[in-house]
Amino acid sequence: MLRKTLFLLLGLSLFSAAVNAEKPIQLLANTSPPYADAKLEQQGLALELVKHVFSRTDYSPQVKIESWSRALEGVQIGVYDALAAAWYSDERAKDLLFSEPYLSSKIVLVKSSSDPTEYRSAADLAGKRLGVRTDYAYGLDLEAIPGLRLVQENHLIQNLLNLQAGKVDLVIGDLRTMNYQLREYLGGSLGKFRVVDADLPTRQRHVAAGRAVKGHEDMIAAFNKALAEAKQDGSYQAIIKKWDRQYG
């Protein structure tokens, strides 16, 4: 009887350890293909990277895709644990603890192919109409550019359609997203658009944990450590190369 009791206690102890080793966390992302989209393989490039990195930790992420405003608010107030793919800003850092950057995004401009203007830097946007996405952190003080009019939309495709219709002069966004949207939705009109490689900042995606969430510092520390390991063994680079064959 004592032997059976000891085996039972050992089994319960091992089960408890296994359960405790898996720390479930809820991550949120907004639909932003090819980075995050429920219809894409592995839910997109950014989410595949994030899940791959967390798989090397004791955390078990469940990823839910919501609108950006709901995702940001849900993490800020501690209803969810972290954003899976966020750009850094000082304002956001008041409520969020950011991981090391895990993915770079090149910011580009898209203009009409009939527009002869050369855009070499943000200063060349003076007096223009620029299509932007609501609440996006581009890393530029666009409001400081003289005469620049910002035309806000919730989705990049709306900005591109505005460009096609002549309602804006240019659209700003990251290169992979531009390539995805143009090929997916405007493939028959690619000749009407031109990507401008102006001198604009590169943006970094991060996991961003809510400061109101218990254990947020440990979560981010574990992610950072696993990210460094994934870069060292080459698995990180392999995922990015796979996606960039299509959208890079």
Question: Does pTM surpass 0.85?
Answer: no
Q: Which two tokens stand for residue 158?
A: 């709306």
Is 5's pLDDT higher than 90? no
Tell me the pLDDT tens digit for each residue of 173-216: 999 999 999 999 999 999 999 999 899 989 999 999 999 999 99
Region of poorest pLDDT, from 35-39, 79-83, 132-136, 171-175:
132-136
Name 217's Cβ contacts closer than 8 Å, sequence gap at least 6. Answer: 97, 209
- Give yes or no for a contact between 180 and 156, defined as CB atoms under 8 angstroms apart: no
Q: What does the alpha-carbon distance between residue 115 and residue 62 come to, in Å, rounded to a whole number?
A: 45
Average pLDDT score, the chain: 90
Residue 69 has a pLDDT of 87
Q: How confident is the model at residue 21 (pLDDT cuts 50, 70, 90)?
A: low
Cβ neighbour number for residue 144 with a 10 Å cutoff = 8
φ, ψ (nearest 5 deg) of residue 69: -65, -40
Q: How confident is the model at residue 14 (pLDDT cuts 50, 70, 90)?
A: very low
Is 15's pLDDT higher than 70? no
Is 19's pLDDT higher than 50? no
Residue 136 has a pLDDT of 80
Q: What is the mean pLDDT of residues 34-38?
A: 95
Q: What is the mean pLDDT of residues 163-168?
A: 97
Residue 137 has a pLDDT of 78
Q: What is the mean pLDDT of residues 95-120?
A: 96
Tell me the pLDDT tens digit for each residue of 214-228: 999 999 999 999 999
